[in-house]
Structure 1
Amino acid sequence: MDDSEYVSGLPGFLGVIDVAIARIEAVLLALGVLLMAANTVANVVGRIAGHTIYFSEELNQALIILITFAGISYAARHGRHIRMSAFFDAMPFRSRKLMMILIAAVTSATMFLLTWYSLAYLLEQAGRGRLLPALRIPQWWIIVWAPLGFFLTGIQYGLTTVKNMLDKDIWLSTSTLEGYDDSAEEEV
């Protein structure tokens, strides 16, 4: 299921927030990747013609930051973060359920703490008044994606905590049920 068809498994207002974040992530990631590809191709063509785009490297750096921090929220939504699950998988269901609630809640709190620290860093950089040499825009404009990404990821893990508290199953995210997909092994 792609994010344009994303339907939240959360009730009421929480479901509205979940769907809104999914749309924000999809737009940011799509825009970032498309702009980076277009910028890189244009710069390669420009080099062949003997005229490089002087701000291309700075623009790609900004887009990498955007894609990275929008991507952490996207990965959290789809349960795609790396996890070490050997002990977790060996636990009985009730223990796994409690651990998932604890893991999601602690991760959410950590993401909000990182939001706070990255926002402080952003404000510090904004206070310095530095400009990017080629683009001539304030340097903090490209850092703004860090607190936004951490914030969206914190919300996503918070929603996962709530989903696990409300549902009888164990959820890695609001849209991904715990377990392994055996269909890949069956195709071999």
Structure 2
Amino acid sequence: MTRPPETGATEPVPEATDEATRVPLAIEDWLTVIVMALLALITFANVLVRYFTDQSFAWTEEFSVFLMIVLSLVAGSAAVARNQHIRIEYFADNGPEKRQKALARFGAAMVFLLFALIAVLSVRVVYDDIRFGETSPGIGIPQWWYTVWLPILSTAIAGRALGLFMRRGRRS
């Protein structure tokens, strides 16, 4: 890829490439696209209905909040897999290679532990939602329809962190 001719520069601009992973990163990318499209569609539909009828769909706000949470977790999984999660780059990307590798592995291990713990503990939340028959506040559907995704997506993030930990261990 080259810069536009109006800048006068013809240097190639490097494109970011993803590391090879066992589970394709396209999964998170496509889930992000699908969730964003759903958010846009239901929000647009609600705007049209409100404009023309002075009413609104009752379910759109509740479902939009759910989709935003899913989007955050899916994007978090992609960020961990691409090693783009939040960190203090001054320490993580500077200094001796050995320290950078150790910090990268430590960060990946901590992310793994955190999201593995969230996955385990959130299974109890799902169980309680089912056991007590909790329903959502807005439209009254079973609450576990929403909460079941927390342990699933937390497990995905933990898996991506474990993969990053292993890739950083192999890197020379």
TM over 0.5: yes
| 2:164 aligned residue (136, 160, 164) | 160
2:20 alignment partner in structure 1: 9
- Percent identical across equivalent pairs? 24
Tell me how large the CA RMSD over aligned residues is: 2.1
Paired residues, number? 155
- Please give the per-residue CA displacement for 1:78-123, whole angstroms capped at 9, x wherever unaligned: 2222211323344311122122222212321221111111222222
Bigger radius of gyration: 2
**83-92 or 29-38, which moves further after superposition?**
83-92
TM-score (norm 2): 0.79
- Report the secondary structure of 2:165's partner residue: helix
Aligned mates of 2:128, 2:88 — CA distance in 1: 36
Shift of 1:57: 1.1
Q: Is the 8 A contact 2:79 2:85 kept in 1?
A: yes
TM-score (norm 1): 0.73
Shift of 1:49: 0.8
**Structure 2: gaps spanning 5 or more residues:** 1-16
Q: Is the 8 A contact 2:18 2:82 kept in 1?
A: no
Q: Is the 8 A contact 1:72 1:153 kept in 2?
A: yes
1:69 alignment partner in structure 2: 73
2:113 alignment partner in structure 1: 109
Shift of 1:8: 5.4
| 1:29 aligned residue (29, 32, 42) | 32
**Higher relative contact order (CA closer than 8 Å, sequence separation 6+):** 1
**Structure 1: gaps spanning 5 or more residues:** 1-5, 169-188
